[in-house]
Structure 1
């Protein structure tokens, strides 16, 4: 018994050694993950990617929308179903190590032609027979070269890749909801400012008419003030349409019918300011699409291992046993049969299938490696772009406030001059009012850029799934 035990251990070690000669052990490919963040050479590993999304977004209304999206978004649900597919594939690859088992029950009725058998005259033989058969068959392939093990590891990598893809969908979902929410708030603010501008310009028209009656201005000033009013009014329908479209788009993300979206106001929003990025090498562990790309390479690597094993002989064991009889009455009497077959199959000529399989697998592995590199570089680019977007928005914010303050005074001054002095005309008022409206709308875009750049930086760093 001890001899058999030791013999089995030696066989196991021998099989592992043979497998190691054909297949290779996976190691992470060498990629340069340093210095991906332009002009950001920090060594601090603290990153906002580790923050829960509820901590990054303080607006409770936005928090509710994000949670609703996580619960109901259809893209996320599809990603979860793809995980189930990968799990089933992994279970199937694990079951490949076990022998197959099949049961077969059959009845065969056979009849021969008397003329075909060419019997002499006078011989009477029953030419019709029935055969009753019940059998169980099994087959098992020894994993000598690691084909089954590599296939299992490939399936496991695919499962992890599906889960990482699901996390990537979630990070993108959170960013999409937050960006759409801030866009809606910005549109609301633009609409409010434009409506306020319409009210002011309506008063301007009345003022110009009164000044004309007092012979202070002429008819040209009146029609110019009316045109200025219409220029503001004509933008209102497009703003309202943009709000409806933004609400409809966000409704689809939330997997609900198009409708109004509950929200607060842009003035209540405060952008998160402690924007710590960590080091770029952390993208390998924080960013889901980078993780998924590496797992895709790992799966392709194991598929290459599988392709290599097809050049080597396969050891299979098959067994069949059961009962067979020509008469149903004595089916269980001395009708047992069985056979055992052990086979070693060495491919010699497969019409180029094995070479084509290997070359395809190697090419797919290289493609997966390039995709891994590109995904990592894209991650660094997106982090850098988000940082620059935040910095430029912050720089514009202070200057824009001064610009709006000066233009507000300019509008007031020109209106006063128009009332009491002939040194100005309504064209000056019109120019200053239009410049003020443009600056106010640009100020809204500056704040929107600042808010959305924080969202994009959080997503680019891999935040939102932990």
Structure 2
């Protein structure tokens, strides 16, 4: 009879669990709808039609063909403390997912108790033949399993999984942002190296011009005013050179911090040479939703909030669990573990809150508000992504035209300077014409260098806006170990093609 009762209780519990195992109060999840353009407006005819996601490579910064930049970029992921903090946040989210998943399995516990007890001689209803002092020795094993009839545990797991995937995408986003910041600082520094070399050559030219002017002044050909103008021009160029050195030092310090090295022990040798400017095909706008880690993180947080609504609504229903406990109990230690001393119990338990002053309702409304907030943030992230792509496409497009015009202006300025120097030597014009031509030529050269640097920065900005080397497939989080996902590049919006100029 006892065996029959045990089997019947177990069968009833399992049947009820199977009946409600598919129940969930989380709303049907849908990605918040966003308007997606059919093409990028600023992508002119100069853009290639081949989708960038089909261009395989290992790291996006390698398209610039700069070994020094390649070496520095590797250090960002390995040594930057901000990346280490993002890795820790990622691990926290994966560990939380593991905690939530544990609710899908039964809890097993064991206990033992050996005690000697004395009961009161005046205990109510005490039998006359009961001893005052008696032993109680118990050993048992218990199993408790939440039947999860309303999907609370399963929605907690879904929310934890979405949070872990969002943390993984956040990690990729931090890496991408820091790598882009490093590339920006590096190209600014190299642009200043070009300016420093230009000013060094200019100072040398101005020194020769001053020597010529002083020689002409000694011969009575040039005036004191010409000498003063030549000296002023030289001093101004030297001051500009010092200003460039100061600016370069700041970028060098920024690179040191980004690579996890103290600024005091880091130095980067100057390098002269025009950086390679790659062509950047963008692909179709819809692909942006899959290759931007910040968009993926925002979408996963919407999914997390959606699942938490199910968790909140499940609190309105009773929490049903199945318990099984068995062991041995005796008033003596020997013999202890034997059939007559066997104890066991099995059956479901139900816990339900009848009144909480509106707390559960408030938690549910909070979960709905969080879902609405995260949905709005997702849409804002998508809009910002398209804006950033368009901004950098426009920069690349129009700066390319500006570079062409600046090169033509530089050619004209150099021709004007040559004519002015020639006429000055012939005594046709004053040194003021030479100073004016020198200033114009120097400013035009600096503008041309700045345009080249800005084009490189715009290309980095476009790569970052397109998601770098990241793919949405990388946000899938494994069930077991909480290990950081390496930001290995997937097909991305950059190809090693000819100069986009």
Provide TM-score, normalisation by structure 2. 0.81
Residue range with higher mean Cα deviation, 200-209 or 131-140:
131-140
State how far apart, in whole Å, the 2-side matches of 1:130 and 1:390 are.
Answer: 87
Change in 2 beyond 3 A, CA 1:153/1:216: same
Matched, 1:395 2:398: no
1:288 equivalenced with 2:293 (yes/no): yes
Structure 2: where are the runs of 5+ without partners? 1-7, 471-489, 491-501
1:161 has 2:166 as partner:
yes
Q: Deviations over 1:360-407 (max 9, x none)?
A: 111111111011101100100000010111112101111111111221
1:236 match: 241
Tell me which residue corresponds to 1:457.
462
* Distance in 2, Cα, partners of 1:291 & 1:203: 60
What is the match of residue 31 of structure 1?
34
Q: Aligned pair in 2 of structure 1 residues 327, 137: CA closer, same or farther (>3 Å)? A: same
Partner of 1:94: 101
Contact 1:111 1:127 in 2 (8 A): yes
> 1:262-307 CA distances to partner (integer Å, 9 max, x unpaired)?
674342x22112x322221111111111111111111111111111
Bigger relative contact order (CA 8 A; separation at least 6): 2
Is 1:65–2:72 an aligned residue pair? yes
Match of 2:50 among 33, 46, 50: 46
Maintained 8 Å contact 2:64/2:276: no
What is the distance in 1 between the residues matched to 2:115 and 2:134?
8
SS in 2 for 1:315: strand
1:233-267 deviation line (CA, Å, top 9, x unaligned) = 11222322222221221122222343123674342
Alpha-carbon shift at residue 36 of structure 1 (Å): 7.6
Q: 1:129 to 1:97 in 2, by over 3 A?
A: same
Whole-angstrom distance in 1 between the partners of 2:468 and 2:216: 60
Q: What secondary structure is seen at the aligned counterpart in 2 of 1:176?
A: helix
Number of the residue aligned with 2:413:
407
Q: Which moved more, 1:284-293 or 1:424-433?
A: 424-433
TM-score (ref. length: structure 1)? 0.87
Unaligned runs of 5+ in 1: none
- For residue 277 of structure 1, the aligned residue among 275, 278, 282 is 282
- Which of 202, 209, 213 in structure 2 is aligned with 1:208? 213
Alignment of 1:113-192 (within 5 A): 131-192=136-197
Q: Distance in 2 between matches of 1:379 and 1:452?
A: 17
Partner residue of 1:80?
A: 87
Q: Is the 8 A contact 2:26 2:306 kept in 1?
A: no
Aligned to 2:493: none
Provide the secondary structure at the position in 1 that maps to 2:229: helix
More helix per residue: 1
**Equivalent position of 1:260 in the other structure:** 267
Number of equivalences: 453
| Within-5 A mapping of 1:421-432 | 421=427, 424-432=429-437
Q: CA deviation at 1:58?
A: 2.4
- Residues 83, 174 of structure 2: 8 Å contact kept: yes
Q: CA–CA distance in 2 between the matches of 1:463 and 1:47?
A: 14
Contact 1:216 1:419 in 2 (8 A): no
2: CA distance, partners of 1:145 / 1:36 = 45
8 Å CA contact retained: 2:43, 2:393: no
Aligned pair 1:358/2:364, yes or no? yes
Residue 453 to residue 98, structure 1, CA distance change in 2 (3 Å): same
- Deviation at 1:137? 2.9
Q: What RMSD in Å do the two structures reach over aligned CA positions?
A: 3.2
Query: CA contact under 8 A between 2:42 and 2:394: conserved in structure 1?
Result: no
Question: Which residue matches 1:337?
Answer: 343
Once the two structures are TM-superposed, the CA of residue 129 in structure 1 deviates from its matched residue by 6.1
Q: What's 1:193 paired with?
A: 198
SS at match of 1:234: helix
- CA apart distance, 1:353: 1.9
Deviations 1:190-226 (A, max 9, x none): 1111111111111222122111112222212212211
Does the C-alpha gap of structure 1 residues 153 and 41 become closer, same or farther in structure 2, counting only changes over 3 Å? farther
Question: Does residue 1:420 correspond to 2:423, yes or no?
Answer: no
Q: In 2, Cα distance between the equivalents of 1:463 and 1:391? A: 20
* 3-state SS of paired residue (1:217): coil
